[in-house]
Amino acid sequence: MTPTLARPAASTGSLFSFLALVLGAAALALGGVFLRHSELPPTASAVYRVALAIPVFFLLDRLSARHEARHEPAGATGAPAMPVRLVLVGFIFSGNLALYHWSMTLTTLANANLLANLAPIFVVLGARLFLGKRFKPGFLFGMLCALAGAFVLIGHRLDFGSRHMAGNLLGLLSAVFYGAYLLAVSLVRAQHRTMTVMAWSSVGTLIVLLPLTLARGESLVPHTPHGVLMLVALALVSHVGGQGLIAYALARLPAALSSITLLVQPVIAAVLGGWLFHEYLSPVEFAGAVVILAGIVIARRFS
């Protein structure tokens, strides 16, 4: 009787985590809107993104720890946090943010976005080579469908001319780092609370990004209240909300499926572009968005 009752609960938890992942992707897509209106260069904006989020994560982690202490038996909260390990996760994420933002200055925005969205390929390769994971053909087909849809959605804006070579390589490398970050979070999330992971990994990200921004001579001073508001929104919505929900989902969902599901970001960004900036989808772009969604559904079915 026990296994029969456990299955629906596990299925419900998995569905809830999947919805959290989609909401996290939506929050990340909103980050593009905030960056577009930021008064600071991209890397400087990323510094505020993590710096303003850190105290929020630590506060939420403290509240979560108190809640667990009240409602769970002694010793049930798991091993204490290992900050060094979690800070190293932040180092990986800083590579993704820095390279992605740097690539946007050396190539087109469409190129940078598409190349950054190739992360599922590196998640699957990393999981297979380093973790011994095996994937069903249907799952891999779903991944290829989602990636093909991304090419169709963004394809008409791509420009892979030689003048963009350096930026394109940086964009591709940012996808490698993001794939590594998703795998790393999926591993540490099994032993630590979501907010613990996010708090200490954000510290690690800031340790790398702040000196890098200062070395590049980027301004860290917003000029208007609107500029401040955009940085606060980037931190609370995209980092606390977006990355926090993704980290939560990675405790239950495979990193490979999560990385493919995050391909919904360009679809959400396209919808937001039509709503906020009147950048409406053409029939071909709409078809690409549908293929992305179909690929995600197929990958989830066979994961």
SS3 per residue for 203-267: HHHHHHHHHHHHHCCCCCCCCCHHHHHHHHHHHHHHHHHHHHHHHHHCCCCCHHHHHHHCCHHHH
The answer for residues whose C-beta is within 8 angstroms of residue 267's C-beta and 6 or more apart is 153, 289, 292, 293
Q: Rounded to whole angstroms, how far apart are CA atoms 292 and 144?
A: 9
Question: According to the model, what pLDDT value does residue 3 have?
Answer: 44
Element counts in the chain: helices (H) and strands (E): 14, 0
Please report, in tens digits, the pLDDT of each residue of the chain (303 residues total).
444 444 445 566 688 899 999 999 999 888 878 887 889 988 899 999 999 999 999 999 999 888 887 766 544 444 444 589 999 999 999 999 889 878 877 887 677 778 888 999 999 999 999 889 999 999 999 999 999 999 888 877 777 777 888 888 998 999 999 999 999 999 998 889 999 999 999 999 999 999 999 998 999 999 999 999 999 999 999 999 999 999 999 988 999 999 999 999 888 877 877 777 677 778 888 899 999 999 999 999 997
Question: According to the model, what pLDDT value does residue 7 have?
Answer: 44
Question: According to the model, what pLDDT value does residue 76 have?
Answer: 42
H or E segment and range at residue 195: helix 194-215
Question: According to the model, what pLDDT value does residue 71 have?
Answer: 67
What's the chain's Rg over C-alpha atoms?
19
Question: According to the model, what pLDDT value does residue 190 have?
Answer: 81
Contact 43, 205 (CB under 8 A): no
Joined together, the tokens standing for residue 189 give 């999330």
Q: Cβ–Cβ contacts within 10 Å for residue 231, how many? A: 22
Instruction: Tell me whether residue 220 is exposed, middle or buried, using C-beta atoms within 10 angstroms of its C-beta: 0 to 12, 13 to 18, 19 or more.
Output: middle
Q: Rounded to whole angstroms, how far apart are CA atoms 283 and 276?
A: 19
Instruction: Tell me whether residue 141 is exposed, middle or buried, using C-beta atoms within 10 angstroms of its C-beta: 0 to 12, 13 to 18, 19 or more.
Output: middle
The answer for residues whose C-beta is within 8 angstroms of residue 270's C-beta and 6 or more apart is 153, 279, 281, 285, 289
Contact 200, 90 (CB under 8 A): yes
Residue range 21-68, pLDDT digits in tens? 999 999 988 887 888 788 998 889 999 999 999 999 999 999 988 888
